[in-house]
Structure 1
């Protein structure tokens, strides 16, 4: 299902975006936000009435609810959802990749950012990715063992179970193990993605063993079984960290990388560590927002954009001028992303300055209210898309714990390489480094010294898992989409501020600008012809009517009437938002 075309900017189209949502209720459904009875504005419920989960696949959502029924909390459910997505969405994420987990622990009131981003092997120097002419070797950067960083997701699942969950890891991983062993029906996106990457995928014998097990590529409706992946997950469940990073699985990963010409060391694999970081915090029009710090660029960029936009009442502007101001704020934030951001354990990120209100005010003063500011690098090409790669899920439980998590293998099916005997599809996150300074990566974004690879360094990311909280509502939200993740989450914040319900937020048409290329990307229905004409008169290049992108997942607890609701992106027909009400 796709969002319907509209004639004005998306969050004013609530009446046009009440689409049939791919959301289902388990045991009982919350009342629609529009149908809720008026609540006493002074009344605030202390705890949600149950658990809400929104994820990119119905099987992963159900895996999370299964663990909640078994006595788990949001963090146990996050392990189950993450692992299940690793099984059913190899196109988007997996235990051969990494991710960010934003947590809120109700009993302590703490917000924690769990950084499970992949790290660079020592051999992955910038020179290793250049061809004989000194140009970026795009094949090595995006395909096979040289494109893969040391995976972080398995360590994150162990970390969540040991530090925040209630249940043993083997319990929380059980649904994913079952799905991997018994299989799941191949869906259209999986089939199409394989066709797009087939040439690369079929270079590697481990990949052929999984996806060509019956001699033919995956077809919609067929059942895809992954017994090797099930075994790897069982070892992770039984032995924790050592079950993946050492022992049988670790040895097979090292052997596979070496056989295909890559260079990983055993100490790099066994030495991987999850890092807990302090989340970024900002305020926007009555909302307290908690979001991702570096090595994510998302929180910094969103802080800059929202603080710039606070200088205007967007609701009072016509669509063209509203879009113009949002785009100009995006342009400036993405420029700073390119120049300043990287792994804070390796480079000094001017975080206080970039996220300060004074800095935003200075940037705001450079925005001409009637004219586009040309980017330093001009291009007529639309920004590359990432819609099948990366995934997100959001959870709120009955104790008030919440999780907003984004995980990825980077591009479509990551590196394309499965390590034989493990079922583990390796990421191709090395392309997220500035492998050749000033050369755009697969998503058209550039980087310089701050994001150059170094041994053990984490590559810059756009993943932006976030929480929003007002006097009345608590929200978890995030999305995949490469460099477009940030603007999807930004538009979700603006939509929630305008009063939209979660499913409307997930469905709204989208726009994007990332400084380079110097063009507004707009989904079909995001901008009408008159608005496009006005923007062009201001000096903007507008790529209107682009293919849809992203896969936003969000859940909301309304404290006024104590209801839970969720929204899952209708661009993805296998996603599901679900609510499980407690017995209390």
Structure 2
């Protein structure tokens, strides 16, 4: 698409549709996402918010039974978990404002691949083999397991090809109204449990939102990301805003000192995230105050280099550094999602993170595509410390996301870096690691992406299994960290601007690659 003179948005639509076929567990037209776009001509950086929404009839106790939070494993494969998909509407809105190539042509590669088929990617085979739950659900058993267990595993999806052909020929409304929408609702009516309350009006009324990116200085650069309904941009910027009070450049990437500072900044930022951030149409998110330099200086002042904080509380910008009567209560989440970054010939930059939420979403398929389980990203408890939770379920509301497509610009406003990742709420830590790697440790983007992962979401300091960081666990525990060594399959993809042009990097933990002319 780029060789044909297409805009970065044109290329992104073609890439995203192919991913809907070959990376169906993670992403697709049954889900949603965020598209971060920098227009080189105007210098504007905008975000297209294609996050799923709750049906209009949704109530705060959606995931509770007799006042008790429902187990996540039961909530995911239920009709109640599926939000109104936003991906197609988001891409259509971006295309209407920036696209150069005809909408229908952007679907041709994905349609051809889905009809013709191709050898099943090794990673997809592993995902299917390792997820025993797929045996329990008719849709995933019939599509994913059947193809993976054939003598020569082949991925083919003529049903998806037909759905994409309808959207290509008739436009985005073909997804939200008519036979495709009716088929989606019919599938939800047949959910094994958790009755759906999604209606034809919910689908037809979905709107993607064009928002200003949230930006903040970090040392001599400006970093921009996705604002709420995603927590990714604010949380990444808060972590950086605290770390800029420490000389990160003097520390080694794999040192106890560096990991300690990153972990403590992350714990404080995640406490604020949990207490303050939700859909801005429903919650007054104090974006400016949360990123205020004085407030972040005060929060950084809570960090002790010689000892991890015993307790972490959210703050109240402009009033108090800590709200000591409120404890940070982190929420576990799934580890799905997909990301890619693009630059076109005119210097337009694009970062797109999209997701079905859990790998394989709700375990339900409709017309060849996976239906998301994004509503489980809402807080199951409607209240926190006796006040309404900012991420409580509500009709028409967008659940809080951790997706963090990110761009960095130098002091002259020229692009320095585009980055993003898969990985649930760990996305924030993966992106922070890479930003520090490039901006503080002067690594190229590939080496920064390949750094071992270490992060703290308020669930303890997690170190990537099978890496040299495992040896640091005792020293970090001595500092007071609750350390766990776990597999962390990030999915970082980035592009950086160098004196000689552009340089790309892809996560060695997955099978993505950097390509360009």
Q: Same fold (TM over 0.5)?
A: yes
Q: Give the equivalent residue in structure 2 for 1:30.
A: none
**1 CA distance for matches of 2:157 and 2:450?**
32
Change (3 A) 1:313 1:134: closer
Q: Which moved more, 1:263-272 or 1:463-472?
A: 463-472
Normalised by the length of structure 1, the TM-score is: 0.80
Is 1:450 the equivalent of 2:383?
Answer: no
Is 1:398 the equivalent of 2:336?
Answer: no
**1 CA distance for matches of 2:149 and 2:59?**
36
- Size of the aligned set, in residue pairs, is 492
Deviation at 1:131, TM superposition (A): 2.5
Alignment of 1:350-499 (within 5 A): 350-375=286-311, 387=335, 389-419=336-366, 422-437=367-382, 449-470=389-410, 474-497=416-439, 498-499=441-442
Is 1:265 the equivalent of 2:207?
Answer: no
Gap regions ≥5 residues in structure 2: 314-329
**1 CA distance for matches of 2:28 and 2:152?**
21
**Quick check: 2:383–2:389 contact (8 Å CA) kept in 1?**
no
Deviation at 1:321, TM superposition (A): 2.1
**Quick check: 1:218–1:224 contact (8 Å CA) kept in 2?**
no
**Quick check: 1:187–1:220 contact (8 Å CA) kept in 2?**
no
**1 CA distance for matches of 2:98 and 2:216?**
25
**2 CA distance for matches of 1:194 and 1:528?**
28
Alignment of 1:125-164 (within 5 A): 125-132=59-66, 134-164=68-98
Counterpart among 173, 176, 182 of residue 242 in structure 1: 173
Is 1:508 the equivalent of 2:441?
Answer: no
Change (3 A) 1:218 1:457: farther
| SS at 1:102 equivalent | strand
| SS at 1:565 equivalent | strand
Change (3 A) 1:473 1:216: closer
**2 CA distance for matches of 1:249 and 1:160?**
22
Higher relative contact order (CA 8 A, sep 6+): 1
**Quick check: 2:463–2:469 contact (8 Å CA) kept in 1?**
no
**2 CA distance for matches of 1:520 and 1:211?**
31
Change (3 A) 1:224 1:464: same
Is 1:211 the equivalent of 2:211?
Answer: no
**2 CA distance for matches of 1:219 and 1:476?**
39
Change (3 A) 1:401 1:237: same
| SS at 1:477 equivalent | strand
| SS at 1:71 equivalent | coil
Counterpart among 483, 492, 495 of residue 542 in structure 1: 483
**Quick check: 2:62–2:393 contact (8 Å CA) kept in 1?**
no
Q: Give the equivalent residue in structure 1 for 2:491.
A: 551
> What's the RMSD between the two structures over aligned residues?
2.4
**1 CA distance for matches of 2:506 and 2:171?**
31
**1 CA distance for matches of 2:337 and 2:470?**
30
**2 CA distance for matches of 1:312 and 1:547?**
29
Counterpart among 318, 333, 345 of residue 269 in structure 2: 333
Is 1:191 the equivalent of 2:133?
Answer: no
Change (3 A) 1:438 1:509: farther
Deviation at 1:453, TM superposition (A): 0.9
**Quick check: 1:191–1:219 contact (8 Å CA) kept in 2?**
no
Deviation at 1:202, TM superposition (A): 4.6
Is 1:533 the equivalent of 2:474?
Answer: yes
**Quick check: 1:298–1:462 contact (8 Å CA) kept in 2?**
yes
Change (3 A) 1:524 1:91: same
| SS at 2:261 equivalent | helix
**1 CA distance for matches of 2:74 and 2:274?**
22
**Quick check: 1:98–1:407 contact (8 Å CA) kept in 2?**
yes
Normalised by the length of structure 2, the TM-score is: 0.90
Is 1:114 the equivalent of 2:48?
Answer: yes
